[in-house]
């Protein structure tokens, strides 16, 4: 499973659309399954499954109808399409909603149905553009579980996400991108280690702590009224803090992908 991470406007969705033969590229080369999307879009799309960011299920059909009709777009014969639709409804646990129009589904059910829809053609590559956007924890976990199941069956999955815990949990490798450029690439654990360290110590911002840390030459970052110190060994830092800086509210936590992300892409708000 491969992830594309980046702030809004970084170019994640554009990348997905170019891979999916929907948007043309302005320059450069790209091959999908060894083919050029410009010359062989049909052959490529035949083997792709796409979960778009926007929910675009067909409101004129039921859950079953959506899967069946979509399968027919892939030239799948009617009886296989029927079988596949039933199978996938079970896979995403929507058998009970089989004959319900999609407008009556909750957000989580819609996303599950879109995932099922992306699987109707047994894709060799599954492209997920923010698969769990706007979902409650229960629905996210079900989607994650299903994605892991697909992964263990040997499927290749490419996803974009804003949720860094999701990326850390699912991706074998990922890139962080911004302004259309790839900043770093690696496995989530390696990236955290390389760019932040093992742990982060957070401490309430006071003049005392600030001058103390500056004096000790310990690198730190101020975020609001919080000071964050990335470190290989929190014990060392905490010992210094308590011995010499009289800190309030000290908290130690493992370094996360979010620290890497914010470090590389900055804290400025994106449109």
Partner 1 sequence: MQNFWSIPRISRRAWKVWHRNLVVFFRTWHVNFFPPLIEAFLYLFAIGMGIGSYVKEIGGIPYVNFIAPAILAIAVMNSAFFECTYGSYVRMYYQKSFDAMIATPLSIEDVIAGELLWGATRSVLYVVIMLPVLAAFGVISFPTSLLAIPLAFLGGLMFGGIAMCFTAITPSIDTLNYPSFLLITPMALFSGTFFPITLLPILFQYIALALLPLTHLVAVMRMLTLPAMTGVLILHLAWIILVTAIFCIVAINLMKKRLIV
CB nearer to partner 1: pick between 74 and 144: 74
Q: Which of 26, 27, 34, 54 is in the footprint of partner 1 by CB under 8 A?
A: 54
CB nearer to partner 1: pick between 20 and 88: 20
Assign 49 to helix, strand or coil. strand
Assign 225 to helix, strand or coil. coil
CB nearer to partner 1: pick between 49 and 247: 49
Q: Report the candidate in 196, 193, 242, 194 with the shortest Cα–Cα distance to residue 216.
A: 242
Report d(CA 209, CA 199) in Å as an integer.
19
DSSP bridge partners of 160: 4, 129
Does residue number 46 form part of the binding site for partner 1 (CB under 8 A)? yes
Beta carbon of residue 90, minimum distance to partner 1 (angstroms, whole number): 22
Instruction: Fill in the per-residue mask, 67 to 86: x = in contact with partner 1 (CB under 8 A), - = not in contact.
Output: --xx-xxxx-----------
Q: Which of 1, 48, 203, 230 is in the footprint of partner 1 by CB under 8 A?
A: 48
Beta carbon of residue 160, minimum distance to partner 1 (angstroms, whole number): 15
Beta carbon of residue 44, minimum distance to partner 1 (angstroms, whole number): 9
Q: Which of 12, 45, 84, 146 is in the footprint of partner 1 by CB under 8 A?
A: 45
Beta carbons within 8 Å of 159's beta carbon, 6+ residues apart:
1, 2, 3, 4, 127, 128, 129, 130, 131, 147, 167, 170, 171
The alpha carbon of 255 is separated from its chain's Cα centroid by a whole number of angstroms, namely 18
Helices (H) and strands (E) in the chain, counts: 11, 10
Which helix (H) or strand (E) segment holds residue 236: the answer is helix 234-244
CB nearer to partner 1: pick between 56 and 95: 56
Instruction: Fill in the per-residue mask, 117 to 156: x = in contact with partner 1 (CB under 8 A), - = not in contact.
Output: ----x-----------------------------------
Does residue number 256 form part of the binding site for partner 1 (CB under 8 A)? no
Q: Which of 3, 7, 37, 52 is in the footprint of partner 1 by CB under 8 A?
A: 52
Per the CB < 8 A criterion, the answer to whether 232 and 194 are in contact is: no
Instruction: Fill in the per-residue mask, 4 to 43: x = in contact with partner 1 (CB under 8 A), - = not in contact.
Output: ----------------x-xxx----------------xx-
Beta carbons within 8 Å of 243's beta carbon, 6+ residues apart:
none
Beta carbons within 8 Å of 204's beta carbon, 6+ residues apart:
225, 226, 227, 247, 248, 249
Of the ranges 47-55, 104-112, 198-206, 260-268, which one interacts with partner 1 (CB under 8 A)?
47-55
Instruction: Please report, as ranges, the residues that interact with partner 1 according to CB under 8 A.
Output: 20, 22-24, 41-42, 45-46, 48, 50, 52, 54-61, 69-70, 72-75, 121
């Amino acid at each position: 499973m491969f992830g594309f991470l980046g702030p809004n406007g970084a170019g994640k969705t554009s990348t997905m659309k170019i891979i999916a033969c929907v948007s043309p590229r302005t320059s450069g080369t790209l091959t999908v399954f060894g083919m050029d999307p410009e010359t062989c879009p049909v052959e490529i799309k035949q083997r792709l499954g796409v979960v778009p960011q926007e929910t675009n299920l067909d409101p004129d059909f039921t859950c079953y109808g959506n899967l069946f009709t979509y399968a027919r777009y892939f030239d799948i014969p009617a009886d296989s399409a029927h079988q596949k639709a039933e199978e996938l409804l079970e896979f995403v646990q929507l058998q009970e909603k089989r004959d319900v129009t999609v407008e009556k589904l909750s957000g989580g059910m819609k996303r599950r149905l879109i995932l099922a829809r992306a699987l109707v053609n047994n894709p060799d590559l599954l492209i997920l553009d923010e698969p769990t956007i706007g979902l409650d924890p229960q629905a996210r976990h079900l989607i994650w579980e299903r994605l892991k199941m697909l992964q263990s069956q040997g499927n290749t999955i490419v996803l974009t996400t804003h949720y860094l815990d999701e990326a850390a949990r699912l991706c074998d490798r990922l890139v962080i991108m911004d302004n259309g450029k790839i900043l770093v690439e690696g496995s989530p654990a390696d990236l955290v280690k390389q760019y932040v360290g093992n742990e982060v110590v957070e401490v309430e911002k006071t003049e005392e702590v600030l001058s103390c840390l500056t004096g000790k030459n310990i690198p730190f970052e101020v975020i609001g009224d919080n000071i964050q110190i990335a470190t290989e060994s929190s014990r060392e830092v905490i010992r210094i803090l308590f011995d010499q800086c009289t800190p309030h509210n000290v908290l130690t936590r493992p370094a996360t992908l979010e620290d890497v992300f914010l470090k590389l892409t900055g804290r400025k708000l994106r449109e």
